[in-house]
Structure formats: C-alpha cells, structure tokens
A = this chain, B = another copy of it.
C-alpha cells in the first residue's frame, strides 16, 4: 500500500465515478458497475474458485429473490427488520390498475396499491441453500458455494455500503468439529488471499448489526461466543476498516429450522463465509489506485496471469 493513501468517502466515490468504475444512479447504493470494475471483481472471484478447487464444493446460483418464508422461519425479521427487503406487487383488476396509474401520474404515493408476494430479496447469500439441503447429510457433510446478489435496505452515500451487492459464499454443513475446522481453514485462506493481493487485511471477532435496544445484548453474546469473524481492510477509513469477508458459525440454528441432520442423526451444525465481491474490488482500487494498469506487478500477475 502506498504510504500517501488518504481516506475519505467523498473523494473515493468521486474517483470511482470519474474513472468509469461505477455509474451513479439517482438512489443510493444501487449504482451500475463498469467493465473494468467487473473484470477485477470476476478475476478475484476466479481466484477464490481456484483456492477451493479441491474442496469438492457443490456449485449453485440462486436468484436475487427467495422464498419469503425463509426469512420468517429464521428470525431474520427479529434481528434485522430494517435491512430486509420484501417484494410487493399489484394484484388488482382493470379498475384498481386505473387507480394505480392515476396515482403514479399525479405523483402521489402508490404503495397502498401493492400487496406482499411470496418472495423477498435475498438478505444473505447463504439463505436460499438451507431448505435445499434439508434431510440427512452424507457422512462427510456437505460444502456448497454460490455467487448470489444480496439486498440490504441501507441506502448510503458510502460506496462500500450498498443496497445490492454480490457475495461469493461458501456453506458447510456437518458435525460441529467439521464445521469449525473448515471455518478456521477459510479464515486463514481468506487472509492469505487478500494479503497476496497487497491488501493490508486483518481478521477480528465481530458482531452483526442487530436491530433495536435488545440488539446490543445479542451482539455482545455473539462476540463472547466468537460466532462471527471478519476480515477487514481500510477502504474509507483506517480507524473503521471495511469488512470484506465475513465468517458466521450458526451452530444448530439452520439445521434446527430446516431439518438438516448429520449422518449420525444429530441436528447438523452449519457455518458460512462470504467474500463481499464489490468490497474486495473497491479495496483493491483504494489500495493500488483507480487504474489497474498501474497496480504492482505481483498483484497484476495474480489477477491477470
């Protein structure tokens, strides 16, 4: 990392835009991505694939919308009601359509013409997979990887805090030993991969942003039990580095909710880890500059071998 890197939200956002890396839109946290940004993102995702190529992970892709009952059953709406996005649509006939149209053209609010659908936006890359692995796992458990779009309702001018972003996710389901050992292995792998790209990455115990007054107690418990780790890189601040990779050990939570059992007929434990692909990409631009052609040779040769 160059010694003269300075940190502020505004100039970083402006730099991303001026170099065509992101394309601003009217709403916060939903900008377009340019070709160079996408190339870096895909190259990084390719390195993660390479790292995991001997793990026997099953590969899936899930759409950005998922079965709404998943967030109902998993207490997501208790912990993060403010971040959840639910999909509403119009269920009326001709007459109601006319009323909707009139409101839209008059510039009036029209939310009351909409009703809740069976889908919500995917709040965490791993969520759609748990119902799909219900039942008894094979002897060695299962490992699954996905690159999914994730939604969080937190509009922000801060470019690393997006409403919509991609996560390269891995999920492990099996016995507690399997799951914890796997998580620890990936914590090491993640740190090594990011460091090898010249990023000043550090890991730390972390907590989710649980909602409301009770949230602090939940966060403290999560920290005390070391259920969540993050790998952090300074992107918009040195004091508050950005989490680019997150590791969650759910213990029996999802196994219990979705009926996932180990080969020995115990409730399966699960853990997941995800690389925030846009955040890693931004960390690379922040650390090495807005033009990949000028990045250090070892970083370039890793991404574009």
Contact = CB atoms under 8 A, between A and B. Distances in A.
Given A67-B26, A115-B111, A121-B65, A32 B132 contact: yes
A35 interface: yes
Given A119-B27, A131-B25, A88 B69 contact: no
B82 A90 contact: yes
Interface in A81-130: 81-94, 97, 100-101, 104, 109-111, 113-119, 121, 128-129
A211 B92 CA distance: 11
B67 A27 contact: yes
Contacts of A24: 132
Nearest to A146: B32
A72 B101 CA distance: 9
A161 to B, nearest CB: 14
Given A25-B128, A27-B66, A86-B87, 16 more contacts: A30-B67, A33-B62, A38-B61, A63-B162, A63-B163, A64-B151, A65-B85, A81-B92, A85-B87, A87-B87, A87-B88, A88-B88, A109-B116, A111-B115, A111-B116, A119-B164
Interface of A: 23-27, 30, 32-35, 38, 58-69, 72, 77-78, 81-94, 97, 100-101, 104, 109-111, 113-119, 121, 128-129, 131-132, 149, 151, 153, 155, 162-165, 211-213
8 contacts: A25-B66, A26-B69, A64-B149, A65-B121, A78-B104, A82-B97, A89-B153, A118-B155
